[in-house]
Amino acid sequence: MALLILAAVSATAIGFAILILNLIKGAENLDNSISAFYAAQSGLEKSLYKVKTNRQTGVGLDATLDDLKGITKTNFTKENLEMEMDVDAIDKVEESRTFSLAKDESEQVDFYDPDDPFGGPSDITKIWISWDNNPCAFGQVGVIDYINCYGDGSEWVEISWVGWNQDGDSFENVEKILLDSNALTYYDSCPEESYLSIRCKIEDLDPNPNMVFYRVRIKALYDKVEDIEVKAMNDAYEFIDIPARVHIKTIGKFGRTHQALSASMPWRIPVSGLFDYVIFSEKELRKPPAPY
């Protein structure tokens, strides 16, 4: 009996000891994770500051990417705390942009190389757009009809853009179209996946074949629009990377714990008021030259 009681007490004690050790280890991992997170955040803040100063001093996008890749760990007071840049993730191109907009909010997407706005043709002639809002219920609660209904009809977007050629000649007027959820349809580039259907709309950007660069704005009308995805396409309906953003990823390390943070931002600051106003004047408007 004494041996049985001793065995039971020993098993209970060992169980409690293992539980306490696991709790201590979990708390330690949590503390390490927080430290690694702040290390990654410090590297990200340093990277964003580098992007900001390079913009102001006229450093190009490619040179800025090289500067970001060369950023080393900051001086931490905590021993064994490190930060490193994910060099492979630092880039300037992306195939698509995905974002959500509240009512009357807008997002600017640049279909050109901001460091070479009159450079070689990008072959971009079309815009691909899709979004995912409130699919309609089908028959019973909780069952969604992804095939026959997409959005509730209140999701509208306004797409407006300006274009120019390699000589800097632009359209005389801003092009603008309105789309609602029912305008999204199936294309070969919007395949059905499993029970989910991906619907999109492809619009021609270029009525003039000489126009090869575009600045596009997407605005949500009447209601919020979620998970908007925008891509650039050529005449062959092939997706083209957009070289107009900066992608950064930093990794914080403390012990065996790693934390990663990433950021993506436009290289050129968006023109928030673009297309939102017009100036009427009975006289010619001239902008005086900058003083030297």
pLDDT in tens, 56-94: 888 888 888 888 888 877 677 778 888 888 888 888 888
Mean pLDDT of 25-29: 67
| Other beta carbons less than 10 A from residue 72's beta carbon | 11
The conformational region for residue 64 under phi > 0 = left, psi -120 to 50 = alpha, else beta, is alpha
The two three-digit tokens of residue 280, written as one number? 């009427």
**Concatenated DSSP letters of 194-235:** TTEE--BEEEE--SSTT--EEEEEEEEESS-EEEEEEEEE-T
Nearest of 124, 202, 107 to residue 163 by alpha carbon: 124
Q: How confident is the model at residue 137 (pLDDT cuts 50, 70, 90)?
A: very low
- In this predicted structure, what is the pLDDT of residue 282? 64
- Residue 113's φ and ψ, nearest 5 degrees, are -80, 115
| Element of type H or E holding 254 | strand 245-254
Residue 39: its pLDDT value, please? 87
Express each pLDDT in 230-278 by its tens digit: 888 888 888 888 877 888 999 888 878 888 888 888 887 766 544 445 5
Question: Both tokens of residue 204?
Answer: 């021609």
In eight-state DSSP terms, residue 242 is B
> Any idea where the domains of the chain sit in the sequence?
2-89+246-266, 96-243
Q: What's the rounded Cα separation, in Å, for the pair 92 and 113?
A: 9
Architecture per CATH, domain 96-243, reads as: Sandwich (2.60)
- The answer, as to whether pTM is greater than 0.85, is no
User: 108, 266 in Cβ contact below 8 A?
Assistant: yes
